[in-house]
Structures are given as structure tokens and as C-alpha cells.
């Protein structure tokens, strides 16, 4: 196990180095930047700022300088926000993390239960409704679902607030603050859960259908085990194996997948900050966020491999 982790960590470092160089090159070679697009600056001031931030240096020299600072925990300075990139991450990333964790937990919980029941009752009315709901959830754009729920639940029924993290002018503290945040995050969590539920439920349903046809399931039933134990103890563990491979993509999707949702609901997360930086061509912040997603991707891939071994001891790392 230790030898495997050592080898994988070495690969991760090499992959991240290659990824950072590719990402940095793409942003550096993209025409225009925040300074060039700022019409308020004179040509002399633009040239001065490009000299200060090293934007007029060769690509390899700029990349080497960026990597040197990155190894010391400095991922650059946001020109648009006038703050260090890590400071901005610390301000916004936890808001995105809150949305992502809650929606991911609900998505997996509902997908497992619905997928197991739909597979057990294959071709029943419940299975038919599930399949219709799956294809509907996978077909409807996220912005349409978000705007539709805002129209129904916030504007018409007035059950939930239409956006934001807190009520304008709120000074809530303690439990009042927690309740207000939960009240505001309900709509974006519902949308994110609906968006991820379709494909994951389909994975569990198809995996459970294959597993329920295996001989050991018939043997477990012949021994007189309760159907719930057969489904959720014997069948579900093996049905989880194909879905475990998705864990590697779920971790970066926690933040990358909420870009549009945060914009629609005006949620003060890293996704909305990324969208603003993209329109302003704030490349230091864009670079930091993209590298952050790359780090989450390689970590998620490692976790999926380890979880695969935990779920199935027959798998050798």
C-alpha cells in the first residue's frame, strides 16, 4: 500500500507540473489581458503595469517565476480584485464548498435508494417514472431549472428567497445566521441535486440490474435472508463498484459544476468570482482556480482507486 501511494504521488506531481505549464501557456498566449482591456489607463500606464507584473517577459521566464512563487504558497495577485488569489479563495471557496457538499450528499443518497428500488422493481410504474425523470433531468438546461424554480418557489409562492446568501442588511449571528443561510441555500441545493441525480441514478439502476441476476444473490435468497439485507448488503456493495469510478470526477465537480448555479442565484462563491474574472480577463485568478480544479482532479482519481480497493478486496492496487 505504501509503495503504491508513493508511486501514485510521484505521478501526481509530474501530472500537475505538466498541467500547470499547459494551463499557464494557454492563458499567457490568449490575446488580451486585464491591463490591455482597461480603457481607463493611458498607454504609458499600461506599459508600466505590464513591466511591474512581468507580462512583457518570455513565456518560460514568466512560468518559472509563477512556479517559484506557487511553491511558497503565492498564486499571484488578482488585478481586478486587487487582492492576493489565495485571499480571495479563502473568502469565497467555503461558500461553494457548503453548496457542493450538501448537494452531493443528497444526490448520492437519493440516487442509491431510487436506483436500488427501480432495479428491484424493473419495468414497474415506479421504474417507468424514474426513467422519465432521469431523462428529463439530463435534458433540461441548468439555467432553465434554476430560473423556473425561482419563478415558482420565490416569486409566485414566496416560500424561499430568490438568491443571495443572506437577506440584504441582515445582521444575524449564531443560530439565526445558520437558519438564514440554510433558507437561502435551499433553492441552489435543490437545483444542483436535480442536475446530478439523473446520471447517477441511471448508473446505480443499471449496475443493480446486472448484480441482481448473479448466482450469489439467488444463493443469499435461498438461505432465507431478508430482501432488504440481500439488496443493501450483498447486491449494493458490488453495484457500487462502477459508481466509485465517478468519485474522481465528483471532487472537482464540487466547485466546477456550480459556476452557472452560483451566477443564477447570486451565491457569493468561487464560481461566480470565476465568471467575473473570466469576463475581465483576470488571468492570475483564472490560473489559480484552474490549477485548484486540476489538483482536485488528481486527488479525486487517487481516492477513487483507493475506495475501489476498499469496496472490493479482490482488486490489487
pLDDT at residue 186 in the model: 92
Name the nearest CA neighbour of 280 among 54, 39, 88: 39
pLDDT tens digits, residue range 219-240? 888 888 888 888 888 888 788 8
Instruction: State how many domains the chain has.
Output: 1
pLDDT at residue 28 in the model: 85
pLDDT at residue 18 in the model: 92
Name the nearest CA neighbour of 296 among 3, 5, 16: 16
pLDDT at residue 125 in the model: 92
User: Residue 215 domain-assigned?
Assistant: yes
User: Residue 317 domain-assigned?
Assistant: no
User: Residue 9 domain-assigned?
Assistant: no
Sort 94 into a burial class: Cβ within 10 Å, 0-12 / 13-18 / 19+.
exposed
Q: How far apart are CA 237 and CA 231, in angstroms?
A: 9
User: Residue 291 domain-assigned?
Assistant: no
pLDDT at residue 152 in the model: 92
Cβ distance 269 to 103 under 8 Å? no
Name the nearest CA neighbour of 289 among 54, 23, 102: 23
pLDDT at residue 1 in the model: 66
User: Residue 155 domain-assigned?
Assistant: yes
User: Residue 39 domain-assigned?
Assistant: no
Query: What's the Cα-to-Cα distance from 312 to each of 7, 116, 207, 239, 316, rounded to whole Å?
Result: 21, 19, 15, 11, 9
Q: Determine the structural domain holding residue 204 and report its residue range.
A: 90-269
pLDDT at residue 316 in the model: 64
Collapsing DSSP states into helix, strand and coil, what is residue 83?
A: strand
The CATH number covering residue 230 comes to 1.10.3720.10
Residue that has been written with the C-alpha cell 500547470 in this structure: 20
User: Residue 96 domain-assigned?
Assistant: yes
* Cell numbers that stand for 183 in this block: 433558507
Residues of the chain under the 50 pLDDT cut: none
Cβ distance 280 to 80 under 8 Å? yes
Task: List, in order, residues 6 or more apart from 266 with CB less than 8 Å away.
Answer: 163, 164, 272
User: Residue 303 domain-assigned?
Assistant: no
Amino acid at each position: 500500500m505504501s509503495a503504491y501511494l508513493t508511486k501514485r504521488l510521484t505521478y501526481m506531481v509530474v501530472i500537475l507540473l505538466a498541467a500547470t505549464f499547459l494551463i499557464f501557456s494557454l492563458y499567457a498566449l490568449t490575446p488580451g489581458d486585464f491591463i490591455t482591456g482597461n480603457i481607463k489607463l493611458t498607454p504609458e500606464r499600461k506599459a508600466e503595469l505590464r513591466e511591474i507584473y512581468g507580462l512583457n517577459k518570455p513565456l518560460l521566464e514568466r512560468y518559472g517565476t509563477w512556479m517559484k512563487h506557487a511553491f511558497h504558497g503565492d498564486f499571484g495577485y488578482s488585478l481586478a480584485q486587487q487582492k492576493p488569489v489565495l485571499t480571495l479563495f479563502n473568502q469565497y471557496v467555503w461558500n461553494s464548498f457548503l453548496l457542493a457538499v450538501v448537494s452531493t450528499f443528497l444526490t448520492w443518497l437519493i440516487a442509491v435508494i431510487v436506483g436500488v428500488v427501480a432495479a428491484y422493481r424493473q419495468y414497474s410504474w415506479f421504474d417507468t417514472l424514474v426513467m422519465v425523470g432521469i431523462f428529463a433531468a439530463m435534458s433540461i438546461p441548468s439555467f432553465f431549472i434554476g430560473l423556473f424554480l425561482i419563478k415558482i418557489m420565490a416569486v409566485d409562492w414566496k416560500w424561499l428567497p430568490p438568491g443571495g446568501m443572506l437577506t440584504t442588511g441582515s445582521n444575524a449571528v449564531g443560530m439565526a445566521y445558520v437558519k438564514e443561510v440554510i433558507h437561502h441555500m435551499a433553492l441552489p441545493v435543490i437545483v444542483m441535486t436535480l442536475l446530478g441525480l439523473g446520471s447517477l441514478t441511471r448508473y446505480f439502476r443499471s449496475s443493480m440490474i446486472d448484480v441482481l441476476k448473479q448466482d450469489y444473490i439467488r444463493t443469499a435468497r435461498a438461505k432465507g435472508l431478508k430482501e432488504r439485507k440481500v439488496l443493501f448488503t450483498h447486491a449494493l456493495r458490488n453495484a457500487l463498484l462502477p459508481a466509485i469510478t465517478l468519485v474522481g470526477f465528483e471532487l472537482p465537480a464540487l466547485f466546477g459544476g456550480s459556476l452557472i448555479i452560483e451566477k443564477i442565484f447570486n451565491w457569493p462563491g468561487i464560481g461566480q468570482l470565476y465568471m467575473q474574472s473570466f469576463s475581465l480577463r483576470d488571468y492570475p485568478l483564472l490560473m489559480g482556480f484552474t490549477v485548484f480544479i486540476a489538483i482536485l482532479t488528481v486527488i479525486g482519481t487517487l481516492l477513487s482507486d483507493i475506495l475501489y480497493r476498499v469496496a472490493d478486496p479482490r482488486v490489487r492496487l
